[in-house]
Every structure is written in structure tokens, then in C-alpha cells.
Amino acid sequence: MAIRDLVVVKLGGSVITDKKRPFTLKYDVIRRLGSEISEAAGGSPVIIVHGGGSYAHPVAKKYSVAEGYKGVSHLRGFIETSIVVRKLSLEVVSCLVEGGLRAISIPAAAIFITRSRKITSCNLEPIFSALRVGVIPVTSGDVVFDRDLGFTVLSGDAIAAYLASRLRAKKLIYAVDVDGVYVRDVASGEVKVVGEFSRGMRIEPIGGGGEDVTGGIVNKLEEGFVAAESGVDVILVNGLVEGRVGAAISGRSVPGTRLRP
């Protein structure tokens, strides 16, 4: 199953929200990204996935939603996380549309099912239908039903990698709040962005912050390598710097880190 020239864009929670301030959206950034993606994509197919940021992560962590159903008390966390994710998704899509992007929200909980936190099934028809009529589907990290756990948290990083791999995307772009993956130079000891990152290389964490129940940069790279190993071109770029996401979509040279399997 493939969509020709498909680009999957994952907008990190730290790009679209202030992770240090609960329920704080970066409206101007999202509007700018809407304009940027619209201009760069033209008529080419794009799927957008966004993270939960300062909306979903604090609530999911408070109630340990990722652990699944342990009793009736856990249902409160499941429901509350679902509500904040819906609110965030609608706000994100509204801002993208204000930026000039034709986009529609497709809740991940409605199309994904997991087993022990791993995706086992996905109804892709809503995504195909959106693309057929020229609308960009937007989904996000979410609480989803799990066949073993009852429910769990499914990260936007995992969703983006799954869609990119299954649909044989041309490119998967992770928009993050730093310039790429940082490593320490063995000779000089300097910490710097590396142009290419392979398994086994040691990461130097930098930037970010706030609550994250889905693994942060380590999970992002693990999921990214799944896509890269299936033949997808995977790159991490700074979504807070104007023009970089658009350049990555267009195939122009852009500062960032490419994953090499």
C-alpha cells in the first residue's frame, strides 16, 4: 500500500505548545506552519500528526493512563485525557486552517487499535478519503483502546512512523524544538548537531522540558528508525525556525539530522 510522493509531518508537542505551561498553545507558530506546509506541499499528499504537549501529557501522567485499565478509577484518566486531546486537536487544526491549510481532524482513537501498546490495526479509509478530496488529514497522539490493556497512550511519534512505513511515504519529517540530534564530538568534546545519526550513536539531550509520557527524543528516534529501515527518508528539523519544515517538505537543503539505518 503506497501513496506516491507522500510526506508525513510530525509536529512535536514542544513545537505547538509550551510544555512548561499546561494548556498553552503556540497559536502563531501553528498558523505559520499551516502557511508553510500549504505553500511547500502544493498539491502533493501530506499527512500531519501532532503531539500532545502541555495538554495531554500532564493529565495522562497524573492518572497513569499508559498503564491501561486497572479499575474504575482509571477510567477517569482515560476520559479526561481523551477530552483534552480532542480540544487540542481542534485548536491545532483551526490554527492550521487560519494559516491557509485545508485540513481536517481525524482522531487517532477512532482509527487505531493496539495490543500491549503496539499498533495492531488501523482503518486508513478516513485518511484516504481526505487525501482524495484534497484535504490534509491531521491526527495526533491519543489514548486508544488496547486489546490487552483495555486502553493506553499511543504516541504521535509511533503513529507518524507507522503511517510513513505502511503507506511507503517518500519522507517523514519530525518537527522538534531544537536544531536536530546533538552528539558530543570525541576529539573536541563539543556538543553539536549531527547531520546524520545512526543506531549506536550516543545522544546528548538538550532543550525540551516539561512532562512527557511517551518517551521524548529516545522514543522519537526509535520510531523514526522503524520508518527509516523500511526505506523512508527521515529527518528531524527545528519547527520553531521559519522555513525549515517547508524546506524539508520541498526537498531543499535544510539544517537538521537525517536518520541512517
> What's the pLDDT score for residue 208?
47
Mean pLDDT of 78-91: 94
Q: According to the model, what pLDDT value does residue 64 have?
A: 84
Query: Is 83 among the domain residues?
Result: yes
C-alpha cell at 81: 485525557
Question: CA 154 to CA 146: how far, in whole Å?
Answer: 10
Strand, helix or coil at 241? coil
Q: How far is CA 18 from the centre of its chain?
A: 16
Of the chain, the end-to-end C-alpha distance in Å amounts to: 22
Is 2 domain-assigned? Answer: no
For strands 233-238 and 257-260, give the pairing. antiparallel
Distance CA 7, CA 234 (A): 10
- Give the count of domains, the chain: 1
12 in Cβ contact with 177 (< 8 Å): yes
Half-sphere exposure of 155 (CA within 13 A, CB side): 21
The residues that bridge with 174 in the sheet, in sequence order, are 10, 236
- Tell me phi and psi for residue 80, to 5 degrees: -65, -40
- The CATH number that applies at residue 119 is 3.40.1160.10
Is residue 15, in this structure, part of any structural domain at all? yes
Counts of helices then strands in the chain (DSSP H, E): 8, 14
Q: What is the pLDDT of residues 165-222, one digit of tens each?
A: 999 999 999 999 999 999 988 778 889 999 999 998 988 877 544 444 444 788 899 9
Cell of 161: 512512523
In a domain, 1, yes or no: no
Longest distance between any two alpha carbons in the chain, whole Å: 56
The pLDDT tens digits for 106-130 are 999 999 999 999 999 999 999 999 9
Ranges of beta strands (E only) in 135-215 are 136-140, 142-146, 150-154, 171-176, 182-184, 191-193, 196-198
Exposure letters 146-169 (e unless 16+ CB within 10 A, then b): beebebbbbbbbbbbbbbbbbbeb
Most confident of 21-25, 48-52, 213-217: 48-52
Cell of 52: 500532545
Range of the domain at 173: 7-260
Predicted confidence band of residue 1 (pLDDT cuts 50, 70, 90):
low
**Residue 87 forms part of a structural domain:** yes
